[in-house]
A and B are shown apart, each in its own frame.
Chain A
Amino acid sequence: MSEIYYSQASQWQDFLDSLKQEFRIYLPQAKDSDYYYQEIRNSKFTFNPYRTVQPIKSFLFYPKEKVVEDLNSDQQLEDFTPTVVVGLKNCDLHSLKVQDFVFTPHLLKNSTGLGKEGAGFKEGLEIDALYNLRRENTILISGDCTGFKDVCFCLALEVLPYPLNGFDLNLSVLTDGFLVEVGSGRAEGLIKKYHKYFIKAKESQIAARNSKRQNLIDELNKQLKPQNLPPKDTLQKIVKQGYAADTWQNFSLTCVECGACNFICCTCHCFLLSDIRIKDKYPRLRLWDSCQYANFARVAGGANPLKRRTQRLRNRFLKKFDFFVDNLGLPACAGCGRCIEACPGKIDIREVLKDLAKNSVSSQG
């Protein structure tokens, strides 16, 4: 079992301040009722009760970046300053199973054993050097959820509102301080180095954490139960069975093809490569891409298997709930609800799944 420490709020602040010497540090900052990561200089740590607006992928796989400096030379990739991100929740940690599967399959296999569990696990072919560099040099300090948003539906995907693995350190709020659970060797090293800020947690403190966790699950269930979301294990079936359903037509009526659902999604990973010219250099860019864009699957000559908006909405769901279940053994959705908040057309992933489930039942009956 991993070590759990207690750190008073002021000691925790001192710990973060000390880390500034070695790391670039991002903390959640409150704005209205939301939290956004910001690089800190002197700001105080605020514990965010629920997930941030930005998905964790944006620290590892940037919205727009150079992947080749110059196609005509062998110039090497950027250096990366070791970074600490504080405040991500279990939905984001869970999403890294998907992102790691795509970009660094070797890490996933080593760390989670998912390769053995997931019946269909099929590794990607290559390690993505940029993602790997950032992943290996980014310390993830997660936190238990102490609240949730009305779009949160992690439990429907069997993702807990607190993490059991995948983090370097995890924070649980206690009176006047935090329980700090250690989840990696490198984090253990940091605790040792800054041991003056930590003492071993008492059994009673751990018991208090566990009961807070259970309370939050109960609260979240109160919000979720009336929604009657289809169970996780049925999602692949209902999405496949609903291939020809009216659902896609009905829900894509308000789609404006902005791609926000994909960009804000913690598991969406599709990208576009684009070659440009800057003076005498020819860099290659990598940009987040969206399967909701009309040309996403178009080939030279004009053929396009995702010509219609309905096909593209369906593609988003097939990718999440069919492709990834077959290839990784997990659906590519953590129930973070970001896509629900981001969609200007008010397309709600929960409503789409419910509609598919309804059709699935009626087609059987």
Chain B
Amino acid sequence: MPAVIEEIIEETPTIKTFVLRPKQSFSFNTGQFVELSLAGIGEAPFTPSSDPNIKERLEITIMNVGRLTAQLHCLTKFAKGLGIRGPYGNGYPLEEFKGREIVIVGGGVGLAPLRSLLLSLFSDLNQYKKVLLRYGARTPKDTLYRGLLNKWSKSIDVVTTVDAAEGDYKGNVGLVTTILKDFPVDVKRAVSVVCGPPIMMKFTTLKLLDLGFRPENIYLSMEKNMSCGLGKCGHCRIGKYYVCRDGPVFTYDKLKDMPDIWD
């Protein structure tokens, strides 16, 4: 389906949010992904960062890391040739989160899908017992959604950190795992949702397990090469799963006995 860029927001030096208006209204569940294409260049999977309750606009937050994303970053408002198809995969099971404490852990641009999740939760916040956000970025200027993080911290428990401080930054310094402590939650019952680079997800998962979270309560967004999105092209296999068809959100208990899942 063709889509028009209504707005481009520069989030950090390497990350932009594209506000898209699809030709027809577009529904997705938070955590599902779409295939975004640029005619003649290619296509890649992205999880929208916007509120799924909004059907006529779709926001996708994209880091400039590869061939397609570099081209996307060169686009300007109203550029031609964008298309989206989907949504694909299984998103976050909001029903199962109801009445529970939710610890959301993001790393880098991994906060983008989590923003969509947070916006869903905010639309019905009293359904959830407690929502916490822990977020780590490389440096203060790489911190995504700074304005929103401030705003969110007024209604939920937010702690952020950076790997390396710079300028007049006065906040926490250290990997995101260093702020995973002293949770005011019952870790045996709480759920955790983790999204970030593979190395961050690995150590966050290990830390959460140490803290007492149960494997079946840790929700991971796996990143693999998802080309078709339909469980056919074969690129995104992990064990008996296709990440596009069976994920991209998996609970850790489904993956824990498979070798090399973090590679």
Contact = CB atoms under 8 A, between A and B. Distances in A.
A270 B40 CA distance: 22
Interface stretch (A29-37, A219-227, A274-282): A274-282
A274 B230 CA distance: 16
Contacts of A71: 37, 39-40, 81, 83
Nearest to B236: A297
A102 to B, nearest CB: 5
User: For B43, B225, B234, B235, which residue has the most chain A Cβ atoms within 10 angstroms?
Assistant: B234
Contacts of A78: none
Contact of B234 (A303, A305, A319): A319
A15 to B, nearest CB: 36
Given A124-B231, A323-B237, 4 more contacts: A125-B230, A284-B43, A303-B198, A322-B240
A282 B2 CA distance: 13
Contact of B240 (A276, A297, A327): A327
Contacts of A276: 40
B15 to A, nearest CB: 13
B234 A289 contact: yes
A296 B37 CA distance: 19
A291 interface: yes
A1 interface: no
A301 B108 CA distance: 13
B227 interface: yes
Contacts of A125: 88, 230-231, 245
A277 B233 contact: no
8 contacts: A102-B232, A125-B231, A126-B230, A275-B41, A298-B225, A303-B263, A319-B234, A319-B237
A272 interface: yes
A126 B235 CA distance: 17
**Contact size range, A:** 35 or more
Contacts of B231: 102, 124-125
A273 B225 contact: no
Interface string A264-308: 000001111111110000101000010100001111110111010
A167 interface: no
B66 A270 contact: no
A125 B66 CA distance: 28
B224 A305 contact: yes
A291 B234 contact: yes
A270 B223 contact: no
B254 to A, nearest CB: 12
**Contact size range, B:** 35 or more
Interface of A: 71-72, 102-103, 120, 124-126, 128, 243, 269-277, 282, 284, 289, 291, 296-301, 303-305, 307, 315, 319, 322-323, 326-327
B252 to A, nearest CB: 17
A34 to B, nearest CB: 28
A103 B225 CA distance: 19
B84 to A, nearest CB: 11
Nearest to B40: A277
A297 B2 contact: no
A190 to B, nearest CB: 31
User: For B88, B231, B232, B233, which residue has the most chain A Cβ atoms within 10 angstroms?
Assistant: B232
Given A319-B234, A319-B237, A275 B37 contact: yes
B260 interface: yes
Nearest to B88: A125
Contacts of A307: 263
Given A103-B232, A296-B235, A305-B224, A72 B240 contact: no
Interface in B208-249: 223-225, 227-228, 230-237, 239-240, 245
| 7 nearest A-B residue pairs (beta carbon) | A300-B66, A270-B234, A277-B40, A282-B39, A326-B240, A305-B263, A301-B65
A300 B67 contact: yes
A272 B236 CA distance: 12
Contacts of A296: 225, 235
